[in-house]
Amino acid sequence: MNASEDPHGWQVYYETSAIIARQDLWIITLLSAVQLVILGSLLWTDAKTKKPISTAVNILIASMIICYALTAIFFQLFLAVENNPLRQALFITATSLTNTGLECSVTYYVWKRGLPVIQATAPRLQPWFIAYLVLFGLVEVSKVVAVIFETLSEYLSVNMGSHERLRDVINGIVTVLSFSTIVFDGFVAVMYVKYLRTASNANLHELEKLEILSQFGIASCVVLEIWMVSNILYNFWTSCEVPPVGLSVYTTCLRVFSLSPLVYLFLQLGMKYALWKDDTRNSRHKNERVKNARRLSEQPSDTVGTRVSKRSGFPSSMSIQNVAT
C-alpha cells in the first residue's frame, strides 16, 4: 500500500517510519564502523601470532556487519528518491539483496559457531542441520526473486502478475524464514544449555572454549529470537489494511527490529575477544610451565635428588640409587 493512498490511517505510521529510518541510519553506520575497527584489531592480533585470519567465522562476521550497514543505507536511498520509480526499483532490490546476505550470514554463522557444541552433544543431528541450511538458502533465493517481480510490477509497471498477491507471497516467505530461524536458533541454544549442564557436572575445566561459546551463544540466541519475532510482527502489521496496534507499539517494534542486529554483532565480537583472551591466557600458562620444566632440568642432579628425597622421605643417596637403577 502506498503512503499517498492512506485510506485507513497509515500515513502517520509511514511518516514516523521514515523518520526512524533516518535516525537509525546514523546509529547503524557509526556503530558498524566501530564494529569493523574492533574486528580489524582482533584480526591484527591474530595475524601477529600467525593465526589464520581468513576463516569462515571471521568472513561471516565481516559479512554480517557490512550487509547490515548496506541494508540501512540502500533503504534510506530508496526513501530519498520517491519521485524516481527506476531508482526506487534499483534501491529496493539492492536492499533485498543485502538483507538476504545478512540473513544467510547470520544463519550460517549460528551453524558454524554452534558446530563444536553440536558435535559434542548431538553429532547424529549434523546431517539434518546441513540439509536445513541448504533449504534455507533456496528459500532465501526464492524471496529475492519474488521481491524483484514485485518491484518490477509496482515501480516499473511490468506485468508480473497481481501486485498484492506478490506482496502476500513475500510476507509469507519472510514469516516462514523468520519462524525457521527461531526454531533453528532455539535448537542450537538447547545444545548450548545441554553442554553447559554436562560440563558443569563433569568439571571439564579443559573445555573452557566450548563454555565460552555456549555462554555467548545463549545470549546471542536470545537477541536473535527477539530480532526474528519483531520481524514477524512488523511484516504482519504492515500487511494489515488497518493499523492493528498503536503508533508507540509499532515504532517500538520497528526500533527493536532495526537495531537488534547491532546488539547481536557486538555479542559476536565480545565472544571473539573472550576466545582470544582465553587463548592468550592458556599460551602464557603453557610458556610458564615450559620455562619451569626447563629450569628444573638445568639444575644439578644432587639438588634434584635432595628435592626428591624431601618429597619421598628417603635419604638423598637412596633416591639417587633408586633413580639410577
β strands within the chain, DSSP E: none
Helix (H, G, I), strand (E, B) or coil at 7: coil
Distance CA 91, CA 96 (A): 9
What are the structural domain ranges in the chain? Answer: 11-271
Distance CA 5, CA 18 (A): 16
Residues recorded for the chain: 325
Architecture of the domain whose range is 11-271: Up-down Bundle (1.20)
* pTM exceeds 0.85 for this model: no
Reading the chain (325 residues) residue by residue, the pLDDT tens digits are 444 455 558 989 999 999 999 999 999 999 999 999 999 999 998 888 888 888 999 999 999 999 999 999 999 999 999 889 999 999 999 999 999 999 999 999 999 988 888 888 888 988 999 999 999 999 999 999 999 998 888 888 777 667 778 888 898 999 999 999 999 988 888 888 887 777 655 544 456 777 888 889 889 999 999 999 999 999 899 888 899 999 999 999 999 999 999 999 999 999 999 988 887 877 666 666 666 666 677 666 555 444 444 444 434 433 333 333 3
> Whose CA is closest to 56, among 111, 15, 131, 129?
111
- The terminus-to-terminus CA distance of the chain in angstroms comes to 92
